[in-house]
Structure 1
Amino acid sequence: MSDEEAAGDGGESVDDAEPNPADGAEPNPADDAEPARSRRKPVVVVVEPETPGNVGTIARAMKNFGLTDLKLVNPPEIAEGGEAYGFAGHAREDVLPNADEVSFDEVVANYHTVGTTAITGEDDRSHERYPFKTPVELRESLKTVDAPTAIVFGREGRGLNNEELSRLDEVCSIPADEEYPVLNLGQAATVLLYELRDLTVNETQQPDTEVTRAPEADVERFHEFYAEFLAATGQREHVRDKNELLMRRLLGRAHPTEREIHTLLGTFRKANAKLEHADHLAAKYDEPPYPTER
């Protein structure tokens, strides 16, 4: 990965509107309280990007993960309709055209800063690049921070130099294969902003993934059917006991849904009925029953 820098939260206050007596609404005592503040989202800073395309890629990653405030230090020309806009996707509509050009000094003076780097120090003898956090550790750390924060990415080829890193508050590094730990600038931004999404994205396109476990009465019915199935297949008692316990542990971990458990109930109901019918035919025609383990 290319040297990146990350910083935490930046954000806005959300002021409650004044109640309008003409609306006929009763005054709410809570309206006199301090206005609620939403968590401030990080701003993203790119230091001396070499190509417009990488600026566009970072803008797109910001749009993906709920960030809007992009700041550029000594950027190349970002022409409307040019390479940056071609890489930005829908971020060309807001993130990219609203990007601000700033100085490195302004970023340091106005934000809590987190610099990220591919090359880290192994111990405290390298103060510029040590200690460092992984993106996940950074996310957990920033959850406790309510301050304007900037995520600062370095140059494509060299990242941030030691002098720049020494002026930033924290250091973050993306774990990668030690033989080739350097991500390109767009990759690094996407990985880091993805890991910070819990701080920046209120709702995603994915449906609710919480599992509603099937009613315990249905789960217990399944275990009864399974025990009948094991007995009908002629397994010895101690083997049946072990298999029943293994199945109970398996379902205990799996948390089956109501639909899943009903599907299993139907399958084992039919299997048990067929085995019972086979035993009946074996007895009727004096055939040997299903073989029993010895």
Structure 2
Amino acid sequence: IANEVIGEMNLKPEEVFLAQGTLRPDLIESASLVASGKAELIKTHHNDTELIRKLREEGKVIEPLKDFHKDEVRILGRELGLPEELVSRHPFPGPGLAIRVICAEEPYICKDFPETNNILKIVADFSASVKKGDCRSYSYVCGISSKDEPDWESLIFLARLIPRMCHNINRVVYIFGPPVKEPPTDVTPTFLTTGVLSTLRQADFEAHNILRESGYAGKISQMPVILTPLHFDRDPLQKQPSCQRSVVIRTFITSDFMTGIPATPGNEIPVEVVLKMVTEIKKIPGISRIMYDLTSKPPGTTEWE
């Protein structure tokens, strides 16, 4: 694509430079030699691909922020006199939030799925494990639901405990609503189509609008809203096809984005604010359930990609 644009603009490739806002955590997580010769790959960033690395070696990449963490960049922004709403703005990753859609055509269920579920049922009232990647490089997501009102402190404790007991789990969520009787074992086919992206953007708008109105936007470092291909509450005897999707709210508090914790409802964020998000997002057509990410970093990442 870059070469096509360069050609359309009648530019000479050897005279083109790439300027990008790479931050230090991007280089660390993608195991770039720019950051460290010993770092292990956590995930690949779009601003540190093989092409970018080749251009760096040729001296064609300009990255004025590559030595800074996000909190330091915000300090720079304030010193430059930029508006606070711009400096403190939560990320809106491109293209158009597409990175926050968990795409799937079929479920990823490895041979350890039943065993993992049996272990989790001993730990919590209900646990559903759903694969978000393949058996070689990704881990299960554990979902907890209950007939009682959520005890957020206990849920946060479970979210810390479960990944230590089950090493094939690196993320724990709470599922709002009544207890989930039948964990979904299939998925709603989900791709980056106009309708799917529109659904996610509506959910993202509702959640962030409520957060801003509450006055807590500045206290939450980042709040990814994730669209997953899960359709709950279907009677398996009726063989109803999976056609809806579920949303995850990921409130994240950190100073450097290398490590962090979820915002505990009732402590770092009012329970009423979270419940209002759930109510408004549930009104969006095609939404099955709302979930709340309870995972610290590590073992989870800030985003879900």
TM-score, L = length of structure 2? 0.23
More strand by share: 2
Q: Which has the higher contact order (CA 8 A, sep 6+)?
A: 1
More helix by share: 1
